């Protein structure tokens, strides 16, 4: 990584059954991707409260990834479809808040798609690099500086 | 919390040999973890999952009075259970363990040691924060119903059913065809020993048919599955046979007298059967069914020849489908595979040329119970003078299936042997690679090489009847490249056998949804762990066996089916199972009783109950799977998921950025 280049911070909410396992598979298969992403394991993407996404942006994350099972493969039948509906609404909401809707991404990865997971991370990082830092990222940093 | 209400957290960083330590500075992470709020001890060790590592944590819990444990190592999918047990042994509630995945999601995917170390620190920080807010959970147990459902009556289902029933536990074996036997009963000889498939399978089939502990339901399909491990409720549709099973004496007169002929599924379309039929003479049960799509009585309202000639008065045109409900504790899904249809690859001429046949058709042709009585003949009744066997049709082909179907090389060798044994034909094998991996397989390959079979390495481009020389006239010409010699080849033959791929059942998606099983990209059912748990699925109590999981040969199928049976028996013998502890719970002071949770839950766990004047939601913890859909949709935030509370997740999120 270049010292001066902007490095986006991404948090990924991944479901225990598919996408978290896909990330594990990327690891087991030693498919590398940039360290800009950190995963939070949830049992199902249907468990991801919109508040988590908004909080993540408030905290200064440049991108939020929600990754679950392919439609039809949800361990809880339809949790991923519920997440899909919520993400559509959330995208409109973050747009109103002045964030590009590309900063929120919903993806499907099966347990077998380690390579796909790595590709999604790589793509997200380069896309966010083009978009530049989140405006809330700067605010949070400034607040933090003032506080110090 | 200790007596003063304080958290006492221990953090354990694993080197995993060099797996983690090579890219993450484990000592630095450990040192850093020691500085975090509420952390009273932070240690690193070579293998935290080893006995020594586990003892280290156990001793610390006891001696330092830890009330939360964080292990930073491999994926929780790998060792969460191991470390939960460590906590339990030391008297700590197992749900007070949190793991940071610094191997699969850090050291193995990043190469820059400084950045990987920083990320590992952040993951540990987040895990510590989450652990801080975790609460002990109570694990409940459910009793296991000792009955088992086996879905599919091929060799996998037969094997699993017999293993369980022989231990005197009840099995419901459901098969949608009129007889059990599956694909294996269609095969002629089996590689590499050349045992006759019927000879080794029919004794097992009749054992199933007469077993006092097996309730065999053929011509039946599972329609609905509800419940959970130990307590499944199954709805089975027993389709109308139009033959009274109690009265029928299997004399076969109905089939003789029925005037209507249909292509036989058992003979892969090469022979005929009647509209009232048993698929083959050794069928179990040996009771015919009426195919209403071809029976004249059902189509036109006249005929009833079968009824006229049936002395036992077993024909019953008024019979209707029956719905049967059974309760079982474990389910074994063994629904098998479909054979790839090569007509979608016009270059091989299947469906266009009479003497281009599939592997399954060849099996029937060569079988003594087949349409030619086991003689290998061309469509016009001649014996072939030359036969080409084309490997990998639909397998190892990015346009169709990328996977290897695993059995084709070996059955192709078997075909060559059978052709050599029964005819004087010249046999050509057109292969990409010979994959002879099992016991005795390579030896069989060597034997065939000495039986005068010609092996040509190269993928076939097309099969044509367009002759360019006198020799090719009236023949099928197999055109391709011989990649060993580097030549174009044109091989004129009389018969072409296509080694068609094994593919996932066309309705595998429906079956997967019904039993809540995952599927791979290729459509086959997904096992819980590819190496260490090839029979379990994400749904506790639902096991898989045989080709529904991936293409495999008979020995592997039998081994997997026996393993599934052993797993089912282990559950039965234990008699009880721990239920999911991380389920939804309702804060009744916030619940308005709106019923949104009831609407959204797929498992019917929340119910609105009247409590005096107030209505509040209550969760049936046995039905709840802990998916969290209700918690997110609850407008007042009254529902939370234990172990995944808002507080825990937001704390983890904040800690990731160092707040």
Which residues from chain A sit within 8 angstroms of residue B78, using beta carbons? 24
Residue to mutate among B134, B628, B637, with most A CBs inside 10 A, is B628
Q: Is the separation of the CB atoms in B587 and B617 below 8 Å? A: no
pLDDT in tens, B128-146: 999 999 999 998 888 999 9
| Domain architecture of chain A: domains with CATH | 10-147 (3.40.50)
pLDDT at B142: 85
Indicate the pLDDT class of residue A142, thresholds 50, 70 and 90: very low
Count CA atoms closer than 13 A to B648's CA, side-chain side: 23
Q: Does A47 touch chain B (CB under 8 A)?
A: yes
Q: Does A84 touch chain B (CB under 8 A)?
A: no
Average pLDDT score over residue span B182-204:
96
Which residues from chain B sit within 8 angstroms of residue A76, using beta carbons? 602-603, 625, 627, 629
Q: Does A28 touch chain B (CB under 8 A)?
A: yes
Indicate the pLDDT class of residue B2, thresholds 50, 70 and 90: low
Does residue B284 register a pLDDT over 80?
Answer: yes
Q: Does B532 touch chain A (CB under 8 A)?
A: no
Does residue B87 register a pLDDT over 90?
Answer: yes
Q: Nearest 5°: CA angle at B151, between B150 and B156?
A: 75
Within 8 A by CB and 6+ apart from B436, the residues are B409, B410, B413, B442, B444, B445
The full DSSP string for B490-538 is EEEESEEEEEEPEEE-TTHHHHHHHHT--B-TTSSBPPSBTTTBSSB-S
3-state secondary structure B388-440: EEEEEECCCCCCCCCCCCCCHHHHHHHHHHHHHHHCCCEEEEEECCCCCCCCC
The answer to whether A33 contacts B109, with C-beta atoms less than 8 Å apart, is: yes
User: Quick one: what percent of chain B has pLDDT higher than 70?
Assistant: 99
Task: Give long-range contacts, CB 8 A cutoff, 24+ apart: B618-623.
Answer: B618/B586, B619/B583, B619/B584, B619/B585, B619/B586, B621/B140, B621/B579, B621/B583, B622/B140, B622/B142, B622/B228, B622/B231, B622/B579, B623/B228
pLDDT at B400: 97
pLDDT at B244: 96
What is the C-alpha to C-alpha distance for residues B261 and B277, in angstroms, rounded to an integer?
10
The answer to whether A56 contacts B512, with C-beta atoms less than 8 Å apart, is: no
Strand blocks (E) in B169-298? 171-174, 189-190, 195-196, 214-217, 220-228, 231-238, 261-263, 272-274, 276-277, 289-290
Q: How far is CA A73 from CA A70, B435, B521, B541, B543, in A?
A: 5, 33, 11, 18, 17
Average pLDDT score over residue span B490-515:
95
User: Quick one: what percent of chain B has pLDDT higher than 90?
Assistant: 91
pLDDT at A144: 45
pLDDT at A146: 44
Handedness of CA B511, B513, B519, B521 (dihedral sign): positive
Does residue A4 register a pLDDT over 80?
Answer: no
pLDDT in tens, B600-629: 998 889 999 987 888 999 998 888 889 999
The answer to whether B652 contacts A21, with C-beta atoms less than 8 Å apart, is: no
Is residue B157 within a helix (H) or strand (E), and if so which, with residue range? helix B155-165
pLDDT at B526: 86
What is the C-alpha to C-alpha distance for residues B424 and B415, in angstroms, rounded to an integer?
14
Of A11, A46, A113, the CB nearest to B629: A46
Average pLDDT score over residue span B365-380:
95
Nearest chain B residue (CA) to A108: B521
pLDDT in tens, A68-81: 998 877 878 889 99
3-state secondary structure B571-633: HHHHCEEECCCCCEEECCCCCCCCCHHHHHCCCCCEEEEEECCEEEEEECCCCCCCCCHHHHH
B192 cis-preceded (ω within 30 degrees of 0): yes
Across B499-536, b (16+ Cβ under 10 Å) vs e yields bbbbbbbeebeebbebbbbbbbeebbbbbbeeeeebbb
Which of A28-32, B10-14, B387-391 is the least confident region?
A: A28-32
Q: Does A143 touch chain B (CB under 8 A)?
A: no
Does residue A147 register a pLDDT over 50?
Answer: no
Within 8 A by CB and 6+ apart from B480, the residues are B430, B456, B458, B459, B460, B461, B462, B488, B489
pLDDT at A145: 44
Which residues from chain B sit within 8 angstroms of residue A147, using beta carbons? none
Instruction: Pick A142 or B379 by higher pLDDT.
Output: B379
pLDDT at A137: 80
- Provide the shortest C-alpha distance from residue B137 to chain A (in Å): 16
Indicate the pLDDT class of residue A140, thresholds 50, 70 and 90: low
Average pLDDT score over residue span B43-56:
97
Indicate the pLDDT class of residue B540, thresholds 50, 70 and 90: confident
Average pLDDT score over residue span A127-133:
96
Average pLDDT score over residue span B151-160:
98
Does residue B325 register a pLDDT over 50?
Answer: yes
Q: Does B514 touch chain A (CB under 8 A)?
A: no
């Amino acid at each position: 990584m270049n010292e001066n280049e902007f490095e986006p911070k991404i948090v990924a909410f991944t479901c225990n059954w598919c996408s978290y396992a896909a990330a594990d598979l990327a690891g087991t298969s030693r498919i590398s991707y940039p360290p800009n992403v950190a995963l939070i394991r949830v049992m199902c993407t249907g468990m991801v409260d919109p508040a988590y996404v908004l909080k993540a942006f408030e905290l200064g994350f440049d991108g939020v990834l929600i990754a679950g099972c392919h439609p039809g493969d949800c361990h809880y039948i339809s949790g991923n479809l519920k997440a899909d509906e919520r993400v559509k609404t959330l995208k409109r909401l973050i747009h109103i808040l002045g964030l590009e809707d590309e900063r929120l991404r919903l993806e499907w990865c099966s347990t077998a798609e380690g390579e796909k997971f790595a590709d999604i991370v790589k793509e997200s990082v380069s896309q966010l690099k083009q978009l530049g830092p989140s405006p809330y990222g700067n605010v949070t940093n400034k607040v933090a500086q003032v506080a110090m | 919390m200790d007596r003063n209400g304080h958290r006492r957290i221990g953090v354990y960083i694993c080197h995993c040999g060099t797996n983690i330590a090579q890219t993450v500075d484990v000592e630095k992470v450990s040192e850093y973890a020691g500085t975090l709020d509420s952390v009273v001890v932070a240690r690193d060790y070579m293998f935290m999952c080893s006995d020594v590592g586990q003892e280290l944590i156990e001793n610390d819990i006891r001696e330092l009075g830890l009330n939360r444990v964080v292990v930073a190592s491999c994926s929780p999918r790998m060792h969460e259970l191991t470390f939960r047990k460590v906590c339990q042994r030391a008297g700590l509630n197992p749900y007070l363990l949190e793991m940071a995945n610094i191997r699969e999601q850090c050291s193995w995917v990043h190469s820059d040691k400084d950045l990987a170390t920083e990320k590992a620190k952040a993951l540990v920080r987040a895990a510590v924060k989450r652990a801080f807010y975790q609460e002990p959970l109570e694990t409940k147990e459910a009793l296991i119903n000792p009955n088992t459902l086996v879905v599919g009556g091929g060799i996998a289902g037969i094997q699993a059913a017999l293993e369980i029933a022989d231990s005197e536990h009840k099995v419901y074996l459901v098969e949608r065809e009129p007889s059990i036997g599956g694909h294996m009963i269609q095969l002629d000889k089996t590689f590499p020993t050349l045992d006759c498939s019927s000879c080794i399978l029919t004794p097992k089939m009749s054992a199933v048919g007469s077993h006092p502990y097996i309730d065999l339901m053929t011509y039946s399909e599972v329609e609905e599955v509800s419940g959970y491990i130990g307590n499944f409720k199954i709805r089975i549709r027993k389709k109308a046979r139009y033959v009274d099973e109690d009265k029928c004496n299997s004399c076969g007169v109905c089939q003789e007298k029925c005037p209507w002929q249909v292509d036989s599924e058992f003979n892969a379309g090469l022979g005929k059967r009647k509209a009232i039929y048993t698929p083959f003479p050794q069928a179990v049960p040996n009771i015919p069914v009426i195919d209403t799509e071809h029976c004249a009585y059902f189509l036109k309202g006249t005929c009833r020849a079968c009824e006229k000639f049936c002395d036992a008065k077993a024909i019953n045109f008024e019979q209707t489908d029956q719905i049967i409900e059974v309760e079982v504790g474990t389910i074994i899904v063994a629904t098998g595979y479909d054979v790839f249809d090569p007509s979608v690859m016009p270059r091989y001429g299947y469906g266009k040329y009479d003497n281009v046949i599939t592997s399954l058709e060849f099996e029937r042709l060569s079988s003594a119970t087949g349409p030619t009585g086991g003689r290998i003949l061309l469509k016009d009744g001649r014996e072939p003078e030359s036969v080409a066997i084309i490997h990998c049709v639909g397998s190892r082909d990015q346009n169709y299936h990328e996977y290897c179907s695993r059995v084709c090389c070996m059955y192709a060798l078997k075909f060559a042997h059978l052709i050599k044994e029964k005819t004087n034909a010249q046999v050509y094998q057109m292969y990409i690679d010979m994959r002879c991996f099992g016991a005795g397989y390579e030896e069989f390959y060597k034997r065939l090489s000495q039986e005068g079979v010609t092996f040509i390495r190269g993928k076939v481009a097309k099969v044509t009847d367009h002759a360019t020389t006198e020799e090719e006239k009236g023949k099928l010409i197999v055109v391709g490249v011989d990649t060993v010699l580097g030549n174009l080849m044109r091989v004129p033959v009389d018969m072409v056998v296509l080694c068609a791929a094994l593919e996932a059942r066309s309705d595998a998606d429906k079956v997967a949804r019904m039993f809540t099983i995952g599927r791979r990209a290729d459509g086959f059912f997904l096992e819980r762990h590819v190496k260490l748990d090839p029979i379990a699925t994400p749904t506790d109590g639902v096991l898989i066996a045989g080709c529904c999981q991936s293409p495999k040969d008979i020995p592997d199928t039998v081994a997997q089916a026996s393993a599934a049976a052993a797993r089912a028996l282990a559950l039965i013998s234990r008699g009880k199972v721990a239920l999911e502890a991380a389920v939804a719970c309702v804060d009744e002071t916030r619940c308005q009783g709106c019923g949104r949770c009831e609407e959204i839950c797929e498992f019917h766990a929340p119910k609105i109950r009247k409590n005096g004047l107030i209505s509040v939601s209550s969760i049936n913890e046995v039905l709840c799977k802990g998916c969290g859909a209700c918690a997110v949709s609850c407008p007042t935030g009254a529902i939370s998921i234990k172990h995944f509370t808002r507080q825990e997740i937001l704390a983890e999120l904040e800690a990731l950025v160092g707040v």
